Amino acid sequence: MPNIAIIGGGIAGASIAYHLSKNADHSVEVYERGKLAGETTSKSAAVFGHYGNATEVKMKRYGAELYNKFFLESDRELYFNLVGRLLCSTTKEGAESLSGKNVGNRGPVDEKEGEEDETVPNKERMILEDPVSYIAKGELKGKMGIVPYLDDSKIMGSLYQPNVGFLEPVGMAKEFVDRAEKHGARFHEYSEVNEIVKKGNEIEGLVVNGEFKKFEGVVCAAGPWNPPMARSAGIELPVTHTMAPILVMEMPNPMKVVLPLFQNIESRVYVIGRDRKTVYIGAYGESAKEYNPGEINDEVPVELREKMLQFATEFFPILKKAKVVKEWVGIRSGVSDGVPIVGWTEVKGFAIAAFDSSGIQLAPAVGDIISKQIIEGDQTELYENVSITRFEGHKDVKWSLGN
């Protein structure tokens, strides 16, 4: 019976463990250097909705199906709150672009139909799955529904997608853990992988907390720490990182409605109501600078913090009454073409799960793809889109361990 190790006990590692243990009799060991789901997964805004590029949207469909099943079957306190997503522009050009439903993954309009970004090979166009409506200037409050606190005076146009909400990310990850454990997978907290050991171009095992352990297969799901881990196996991952800050605002009294997910494509800041009293303010893309995951500090830098607060109170003046009660800085992993890197690598026995953010939504599909490759040798229909081989200088070895 082959042994498989997973590095990282976030939502990706947990989903991979679930899919591998459910579909084969291998022994599956997950090594997490801290607490399960204690890093990026616990810091996530955990929005779920069918937007992104075509590959992501396909992967999200698998995720939605699996999460629907979990909600029906689980005894855990899982939740999904539907709040809707409003993507707005404060410029005429931005509004025009939105009216053609031309959107970036997390908001910015970064490409036009027919125009290709030559610096990024195979960059996939961003899409929003229906239902989605364009709302012209001045029509928001009538067409979108009940958004009494929104000051829409500067909004030139918006896209509204009602079927978007947020999950409780740690609960979803723990649900994968429970299920994987039922199928025999074992999770080891406070177990740091120090080294990936190879013999020639093949995995031999791992050094965990200073002790060598033999494995036939290793899956790297170390979130923002994937690059140094993969490097220790001889692979330079084409992944970068930006800061993903959150300010948690609390109102003195509950508001009368929960705020929607509200994003502005120019400032790259967003607001999302978690309940009638609590609101997250987040930032992404150019609002945050390139970031070294080794330098985690949970204080949001002063300038960015001011920008985030100004944005939130400009569009939702009621938030002037709110106080920042908590804040943190997570790390957003990025892949240049906006699609995750999943599966086989050039080292036999070594697979990778690296997101372009959106990991809460994509973790189910990532687990499915990796388990199909490792157990059945099935490259899957998304291979061309998610394989590391789409990047110059990268190849892979197609390996599998059978059932």
Q: Does 9 bind ligand FAD (CB under 6 A)?
A: yes
Number of residues located near ligand FAD, criterion CB under 6 A: 40
For the beta carbon of residue 113, count every other beta carbon within 10 angstroms: 9
DSSP per residue, 84-97: -EEEEESSHHHHHH
Site string for ligand FAD, 311-350 (x = CB under 6 A): -------------------xxx------------------
Contact 191, 208 (CB under 8 A): yes
- Cβ at position 393, least distance to ligand FAD in Å: 23
> CA–CA separation, 100 vs 88, rounded Å?
13
128-187 residues near ligand FAD, rule: CB under 6 A: none
Provide, rounded to whole angstroms, the least separation between the CB of residue 215 and ligand FAD: 14
Tokens linked to 64: 């939605």
**79: how many CB neighbours lie within 10 A of its CB?**
12
Among the listed residues 4, 5, 6, 13, the single contact to ligand FAD using CB under 6 A:
13
Closest CB to ligand FAD among 34 and 171?
Answer: 34
- Which tokens hold the place of 402? 């059978």
x/- letters, 29..48, toward ligand FAD (CB under 6 A)? --xxxx---xxxx-xxxxx-
Of 257, 303, 323, give the one whose Cα is nearest residue 81: 257
Task: Say whether residue 192 binds ligand FAD (CB under 6 A).
Answer: yes
Residue 400, token pair as written in the block: 């599998």
Distances from the Cα of 183 to the Cαs of 31, 71, 125, 391, in angstroms?
17, 19, 39, 35
Q: Which of 307, 320, 236 has the alpha carbon at shortest distance from 270?
A: 307
Determine if 49 is a binding residue for ligand FAD (CB under 6 A): no
Residues 253-312 that bind ligand FAD (CB under 6 A): 282
Least gap, CB of 366 to ligand FAD (angstroms): 8
Cβ 378 to ligand FAD shortest distance, Å: 23
For 228, half-sphere exposure in the C-beta direction (CA atoms, 13 angstrom radius) is 10
Q: Which is nearer to ligand FAD, 33 or 372 (CB)?
A: 33
Q: Does 206 bind ligand FAD (CB under 6 A)?
A: no
Output 42 or 99, the one with its CB closest to ligand FAD: 42
The pair of three-digit structure tokens given for residue 200, joined into one six-digit string: 């020639």
Residues at the contact surface with ligand FAD, assessed by CB under 6 A? 7-13, 31-34, 38-41, 43-47, 192-193, 221-225, 229, 244, 246, 282, 330-332, 355, 357-361
